Amino acid sequence: MTAAEDEETMRREGWFVTAAGVVGDLGHPFYDEERQRDVWNEASAVGLQLMLWLTLAAATAMVWLGGAAALPYAVAVVVVDGAAAGVTVGYARRLGVRVEDVGGVLRLRLVPYGVLMVGLLVGVVRVAPPGGFFGGFARGMVLGSVGVVLWMVVSGMRARRRQGRDGS
């Protein structure tokens, strides 16, 4: 994307940014004070990450403790997590901030996510019924998750190799 296109994208807010502003109450006078806004943004980032960890842990516990009966609830939690993360990334992207460097995302801080994700997926495979909507959904979730993780690892390694070549 060119600089002119970036500028145009940021100028044209659109319904998504408007709706997100209403959800986040971003027009509140609290955000007028710049340090309050910055600190609150940092606090929100901490809260979002913690919420993602805790809800992923809750979904994993549901599958392991509740078995097949808990599968729909665990899937619902994962879908809600995905929606929240998607809106976060989408909002930033809409305003010209993109997480394009996958290599920079691959860090040790992702280990808790990885451990919880593996626990959840193994639990889902263990309890998923052979057929039906949730059986198919669970298998699709496992395959999709493995695909995303593989894509992140391969993209990250490529990005690091590219950075290494550029830096040398």
Partner 1 sequence: MGRTSARGRRNGVRAARTAAALTQAELAVAVGVTRQTVVAVEAGDYAPSVYLALAIAQRLGGTVEALFGEPSEADRPGGGIEEEAAL
Q: What is the DSSP letter of 25?
A: T
For partner 1, give the closer residue by CB, 8 or 42: 42
For partner 1, give the closer residue by CB, 16 or 30: 30
N- to C-terminal Cα separation, the chain: 27
Binding window for partner 1 (CB under 8 A); candidates: 27-35, 53-61, 93-101, 118-126? 27-35
Q: Could you tell me the smallest distance in angstroms from the CB atom of residue 32 to partner 1?
A: 8
Residue tagged 């949730």 (tokens): 134
Residue 127 near residue 68 (C-beta atoms within 8 A)? yes
Residue 58 near residue 123 (C-beta atoms within 8 A)? no
Q: Could you tell me the smallest distance in angstroms from the CB atom of residue 93 to partner 1?
A: 19
Q: What is the DSSP letter of 153?
A: H
Q: Could you tell me the smallest distance in angstroms from the CB atom of residue 36 to partner 1?
A: 7
| Contacts to partner 1 from residues 37-56, by CB under 8 A | 38-39, 41-42
Cβ count within 10 A of residue 10: 13
Does 101 participate in binding partner 1 (rule CB under 8 A)? no
